[in-house]
Amino acid sequence: MTYTDVFPNELDIHRRAGAALIDVREPDEYAQGHVPGAINLPLSELQGRETEVPDGAVLICASGNRSSQAAAYLAGLGHQKLKNLMGGTFGWTREGRDLVTGDRP
């Protein structure tokens, strides 16, 4: 099983199609700024919570590294159509897009 990398400028397409946005950074990182609409499910807690990630989700972290690890892990368990946000929140902000602060999506 595999996943697909998506660029920040493609994220809105997936969001409009109903994809869940899952930020796999730690809660303090998430609270400092995350992509609007993303929910927090830290990579450190993913094992045992895999069912909380729906097929077709876009996984996000700071740079794309942890989210690609999460996507590969979940795809290996049979999750379908997962996506990894290339460049993560850094790539998102490099394109001039805003982040939301706090612990809510």
| DSSP 8-state code for residue 64 | S
How many residues in the chain? Answer: 105
Phi then psi for 64, rounded to 5 degrees?
110, -5
In the numeric block, which tokens belong to residue 81?
């159509």
Q: Which residues are catalytic?
A: 61
Q: How many Å from the N-terminal Cα to the C-terminal Cα in the chain?
A: 29
